[in-house]
Structure 1
């Protein structure tokens, strides 16, 4: 979309309006720190679900109008869950604080989630995923940040910028499609700033070596994971293994058509028709556009885009509920910045580069080179400076400006040596990931339950 002052002025009154939702995955553990083997204890809750396995709990907030409100709800859901887990008949259970899992004693530690009746297909689908990708990848847990613009914001944008687009629904679809493309281009930045899982227990890989990053010789990185220490702790070459080259991705680089919503849907369906994907939901992509309600391509095509989902945020072990409000605020600023980037065709080569950059940014070595020719660290410095300059040049109230600059300064502080979450995790948990992780899980349970 054109970055001009008239377009900005048209929406400035509703600039910080929006709708936020969070999905946070975590593993239930028992008193010893092993993966809980009990059945999912929250069957009647629509906000506390499960993902791949019986012991992978997923917290799903409602829609809230501010980052603060949605983070507060996520914390309330954690408190509610921990209250029940503390009184579990088989002994107290806790919530593992990292995206990487705790120690794994056997593959049977990760039982496929059991659904019955009309939902039986969900269990069969999970068995298919386990057979195709292996059970270890299913143990990664992350955070999905969902966002939609307010109706007032979209209406103001439509009235100012709808030239050449016939109706409001088509315009909104265009806005989110373009934002999806730009969000994928900048997925590397989200990964770099939120990666928080550089250590794991050696049982995660079962003796298998981490996959060598693509193009590692050209990028100059020779980083290798450490040998397991006496505690079984491994220091990974990745700041976020789940987002890296060895993470939970499709076995091919999906190429999508962003020209219009119909073409976008067709470009996903071609992978289903070819057998590369069993369902559209198997498309593992860093950013996704979604309809209201249950995700399906039919619903997306019929009703249009309702919101955008960023899927590469790690669980933050320095927050009791796994999410820092400043990171949600930053994603909102990034969305606004990307919204006003000019429309540009997202070519096949660009899409492949974007996915490669994202996986490269997941490395601990911030000297690796991205496709633009700069190191990931220097690329982040430049990107944050551009975002900051963008907001400095826009008209807004003094309170809003102060809040924007505080959020960007929080992210810029991660760029100093040792400032990233991943650096702090290595310092705090790099010697004994399992025992210190268990102690942290119990500490957060005590804090949240008061």
Structure 2
């Protein structure tokens, strides 16, 4: 089998036999958003009943806390349709929320106490109680504040035509799914190497509310504005930093991406190995459990990673069992901050950029990523998270110090070529235009989301929370006044009603006690 360079792969895919193979990208978005009161504090009400049951509505649910909504679009090959679906789901839910609004930022609003962050409730079924106990475990281990952080997850897969075309071009004659899994892992390795670029361009959390620290000390060089907003002059995405959605206890987990077996082995080891830190916390066998179990990870979802290989699971199946059954089906990018400058939380330009960037990561040669190098990619990310818009910073490119602008310029040279190929496949010009726009952000960091938000803080000399509330009010008015574009109110009401019926059926069909249910689950995991 021939391993092609990026240039060779694009040249081969430009041949008449393979024209259009790069089209047909499938996408889905999961957008998280805290429900807030008009004064900007986290809502203390239950999940909006009119939006359906959190356990069984496939498109409107909650994440960690009862106030942290999650909107999930179905798979679509049309990027505009995906954004329309997201807009419709938010419009429908906002109509069920009274005077509450959606917090348009990743880092949480003003929170007096961690006790204000109530655990998400999923009903009295065994699976519903398991979901809540898992969240109780996260609270017991890491505190609630970290779990109030919101993000946007971008799910993406390539067309079957592209996979068969690449296999033919490279002379691969083995099982196609093994080829697909191997190439997705190559994509993930390249993504991790250059994840810092996503943080630089789209990081939108350069500031936090002082209440987020809850008395914790930090040596980050924060500036202060307003009553209690702390910001880093050159910061980009504190959500991805040591103060954000991270888990230092997982730093010793050597989960690698050089083969599917390596990845699965690393994760399964973590969910089966007792933790010295957490084993003393009462687990599901106790009268008053505070976590599912005392292992390094309670379940696989607890593993914090900016990108994951995924396959849709069957009933009772764990994510890694699904991967070992039939290989990687799609990838989930988890590194995106909520974009505060658009009502959906993610823009069409971001989607177009991710199409190009992930295609580039797929087609570019991807050597194995050993643990030491993987640690270096994390150090690069932390550098950009805290100082990304400082032109003097140096990153580690395979052991060589290089400026962010120099490395980014090299990447964009390749992205321009990939964008042209995607434009050819889609008979459009949007990809090349998007890359040309984003390339300017390398030279002028004030154009990035973090640069724009820091400038707003400095110009207005007001709290970031006050700016966010203004955005939230504006977006709620826009969404409630707008028309449905993909769904209809009738369709979403029916979906909500059906979710309550399904949740009741699940509760009625439980035949085991909660303890017996979990015992059986962990024996099979």
Flag whether TM exceeds 0.5 (same fold): yes
Q: State the Cα distance separating 1:137 from its structure 2 match.
A: 0.9
8 Å Cα contact 1:24/1:59 also seen in 2: yes
8 Å Cα contact 1:199/1:429 also seen in 2: no
8 Å Cα contact 1:429/1:437 also seen in 2: no
Equivalent of 1:176 in 147, 161, 184: 184
Task: Report matched runs for 1:141-156 at 5 Å.
Answer: 141-156=150-165
Equivalent of 2:45 in 38, 46, 49: 38
8 Å Cα contact 1:198/1:364 also seen in 2: no
Q: Which residue of 2 aligns with 1:366?
A: 389
Unaligned 5+ segments in structure 2 are 275-295, 482-525
Distance 1:339 1:149 in 2: 10
Equivalent of 2:67 in 18, 40, 55: 55
Q: Which residue of 2 aligns with 1:96?
A: 103
Task: Report matched runs for 1:152-301 at 5 Å.
Answer: 152-163=161-172, 166-210=174-218, 212=220, 224-227=221-224, 229-236=225-232, 238-251=235-248, 252-275=251-274, 276-293=296-313, 296-301=319-324
Q: State the Cα distance separating 1:400 from its structure 2 match.
A: 4.2
Asked if residue 137 in structure 1 is aligned to residue 146 in structure 2, the reply is: yes
Distance 2:148 2:28 in 1: 23
Asked if residue 121 in structure 1 is aligned to residue 130 in structure 2, the reply is: yes
Distance 1:396 1:428 in 2: 35
Q: State the Cα distance separating 1:303 from its structure 2 match.
A: 1.8
Query: Cα deviation per residue 1:75-108 (whole Å; 9 max; x = unaligned)?
Result: 11111111111xx3xxx11000000111111112
Distance 1:145 1:398 in 2: 22
User: What SS class does the counterpart of residue 31 from structure 2 fall into?
Assistant: strand
Distance 1:398 1:24 in 2: 28
Distance 1:395 1:142 in 2: 27
Give runs of ≥4 in structure 1 deviating > 4 Å: 389-392, 398-401
Q: State the Cα distance separating 1:196 from its structure 2 match.
A: 0.6
Query: Cα deviation per residue 1:7-59 (whole Å; 9 max; x = unaligned)?
Result: 55364422122100001111000122110000111343321110000000011
8 Å Cα contact 2:47/2:66 also seen in 1: yes
Q: Using the TM superposition, name which of 341-350 and 244-253 deviates more.
A: 244-253
The verdict on how the C-alpha distance between 1:406 and 1:385 changes in structure 2, with shifts beyond 3 A counting, is: same
Distance 2:219 2:347 in 1: 30
Q: Which residue of 2 aligns with 1:219?
A: none
User: What SS class does the counterpart of residue 402 from structure 2 fall into?
Assistant: coil
Distance 1:271 1:111 in 2: 27
Q: Which residue of 1 aligns with 2:502?
A: none
The verdict on how the C-alpha distance between 1:156 and 1:102 changes in structure 2, with shifts beyond 3 A counting, is: same
Q: Which residue of 2 aligns with 1:218?
A: none
Q: Which residue of 1 aligns with 2:406?
A: 378
The verdict on how the C-alpha distance between 1:211 and 1:300 changes in structure 2, with shifts beyond 3 A counting, is: farther
Q: Using the TM superposition, name which of 321-330 and 10-19 deviates more.
A: 10-19
Q: Which residue of 2 aligns with 1:448?
A: 479
| TM-score of the two chains, using structure 1 as the length reference | 0.90
| TM-score of the two chains, using structure 2 as the length reference | 0.78
Asked if residue 412 in structure 1 is aligned to residue 439 in structure 2, the reply is: yes
Q: State the Cα distance separating 1:205 from its structure 2 match.
A: 0.8
Distance 1:232 1:253 in 2: 35
Q: State the Cα distance separating 1:231 from its structure 2 match.
A: 2.3
Query: Cα deviation per residue 1:257-277 (whole Å; 9 max; x = unaligned)?
Result: 434322321122122233332
Distance 1:206 1:257 in 2: 34
User: What SS class does the counterpart of residue 84 from structure 1 fall into?
Assistant: coil
Distance 2:388 2:190 in 1: 25
- In our comparison, the structure showing a higher alpha carbon Rg is 2
8 Å Cα contact 1:12/1:396 also seen in 2: no
Equivalent of 1:346 in 363, 369, 372: 369
Q: State the Cα distance separating 1:305 from its structure 2 match.
A: 1.0
Distance 2:422 2:388 in 1: 38
Query: Cα deviation per residue 1:327-363 (whole Å; 9 max; x = unaligned)?
Result: 1111110111122212411111111111221222212
Distance 2:388 2:189 in 1: 26
Task: Report matched runs for 1:307-346 at 5 Å.
Answer: 307-346=330-369
Distance 2:161 2:477 in 1: 42
Q: Which residue of 2 aligns with 1:109?
A: 116
8 Å Cα contact 2:76/2:82 also seen in 1: yes
Q: State the Cα distance separating 1:207 from its structure 2 match.
A: 3.4
User: What SS class does the counterpart of residue 57 from structure 1 fall into?
Assistant: strand
Distance 1:254 1:382 in 2: 32
Q: What's the RMSD between the two structures over aligned residues?
A: 2.1
Query: Cα deviation per residue 1:368-400 (whole Å; 9 max; x = unaligned)?
Result: 2211212334332332223224555x5963974
